[in-house]
Amino acid sequence: MPSDVPPSKGFSSRPASQAGREALFPSATDAEWTDWRWQQRHAVRNLAQLEKYIPLTPDERAGVQETSSLFRVGISPYYLSLIDRDHPLCPIRMQSIPVRAEARVRPGELADPLGEDKTRPEEAIVHKYPDRVLFLALDTCSVYCRHCTRRRITKGGEAELTKEQMRRGIDYIRRHPEVRDVLISGGDPFLLTEQRLEELLAPLYDIPHVEMVRIGTRVPVCLPMRVTDSLARLLRRYAPVYVITHFNHPKEITPEAREACERLVDHGVPVENQAVLMRRLNSDARIIQELSHALLRMRVRPYYLHQMDVAEGCEHLRTPIAKGMEILQQMRGHTSGLAVPHLAVDLPGGGGKVTLQPDYVVERGAQETVFRNYKGERYVYPEPEEVDCSCPYDAVWRERRWG
């Protein structure tokens, strides 16, 4: 990975993966280690390979065996090198190595927890919300996350879209002028070749009503060497392209990940983070706050903290709703607002996202509203006398606006 980006404050320039790399992949050259295709070719994909590198617990060994027909295992050498080989509750280990609980489907768990397949007019398109669509570009990832709620796709079988499926997806968007926002996901779109990515971005850019594109990716977390200058330049050409990444624990924010994120930002590509709250992995306000602070230091905005979806095999990682609220309450007021993510619940079965926050309103009246602040103190907000909130100039603005 070229290292022309100077580290931001608080980051070492020594790769976090160095010790793990020396222990696990001693013969890898610098050129190989920093080549994302080498990383993909050497990803660990089965029990025998995994046992070569990590002393598995009986629960993990059984987990790999019992989930083998349900969901892929795949861990890039880079991500593997960050695993604590001595501790099964290492957050990187918990996200990448299955345990037995994952093989059990509990009542109420869903294969398609967000109800995407019932709003899928084309193979590539999920159209659930009025002004935006999800574009499913492929079914492969650099690491198969044990909390993946789209595993019905990422377990394999859908593969990369054919040219025809991609064309039909783009045509669908062209025919729907209400679509102003396209979220490209999968699978991980950054595993596409740049040529293939451009075949998607270029026609979307040419559709006048598509105002922005977002790309959901865990590559900055699990395969940061994939974020090359050339990829960042490609994304910038089709601005506005937002990268939505997925760091869940501060341990994942390494100098390598920092370099990947800052390369995107330095090229004018904004990066936002969506974390998932997971029991015993990051279900603690201190951890989420450290994660948020580390994200902000590398200019990534902590955007959402997701309540775990009710997906098959994920119950052991789910937290009670109250835990997320408690975390937000412990953060709000104690750190900058930019560091406090929105707590979101994607309603099971396709109800869409709702956001939650601790309730600070004590009393609501016509004359005043009484709040309690983050310290529990009461404050009164007086209501104004005039309550007409219409905006008469808006009609003028809509008629005359430029651009």
- Select the residue interacting with ligand SF4 from 44, 56, 148, 192 (CB under 6 A): 148
Indicate which single residue of 67, 76, 81, 154 sits in contact with ligand SF4 (rule: CB under 6 A): 154
Least separation in angstroms between CB 145 and ligand SF4: 3
φ, ψ for residue 56, nearest 5 deg: -75, 150
**Cα Rg for the chain, rounded, in angstroms?**
22
Binding of ligand SF4 by 102 (CB under 6 A): no
Please state the closest distance from residue 138 (CB atom) to ligand SF4, in A. Answer: 10
141 binds ligand SF4 (CB under 6 A): yes
**Could you tell me which stretch among 101-109, 144-152, 192-200, 224-232 binds ligand SF4 (CB under 6 A)?**
144-152
The interface region with ligand SF4, picked from 47-55, 112-120, 146-154, 351-359 by CB under 6 A, is 146-154
Q: Does 124 bind ligand SF4 (CB under 6 A)?
A: no
Does 79 help bind ligand SF4 (rule: CB under 6 A)? no
- Verify binding: residue 251, ligand SF4, rule CB under 6 A: no
Q: Rounded to the nearest whole angstrom, what is the least distance from the CB of residue 75 to ligand SF4 in the complex?
A: 11
Does 144 engage in binding with ligand SF4 (CB under 6 A)?
yes
Residue 27, burial from CB neighbour count under 10 angstroms (0-12, 13-18, 19+): exposed
Distance (Å, whole) CA 276 – CA 331: 16
148: annotated binding-site residue?
Answer: yes
Q: Is the omega angle on the peptide bond into residue 358 within 30 degrees of 0, that is, cis?
A: no
C-beta closer to ligand SF4: residue 217 or 319: 217
Give least dist CB 361 to ligand SF4, A.
35
Residue from the set 116, 158, 188, 256 that interacts with ligand SF4 by CB under 6 A: 188
In DSSP terms, which residues pair with 347 in a beta bridge? 352
- Number of residues interacting with ligand SF4: please give it, by CB under 6 A: 9
Decide: 13 and 240 in contact? Cβ < 8 Å. Answer: no
Token pair listed for 180: 């102003």
Please check whether residue 189 is in contact with residue 166, taking contact to mean a CB–CB distance below 8 angstroms. Answer: no
User: Binding of ligand SF4 at residue 145 (CB under 6 A)?
Assistant: yes
Exposure pattern of 203-240 as b/e (b: 16+ CB <10 Å)?
Answer: bbbebeebeebbbbbbbbbbbbbbbbeebbebbeebee
Interface residues toward ligand SF4, by CB under 6 A:
141, 144-145, 148, 150, 154, 187-188, 218
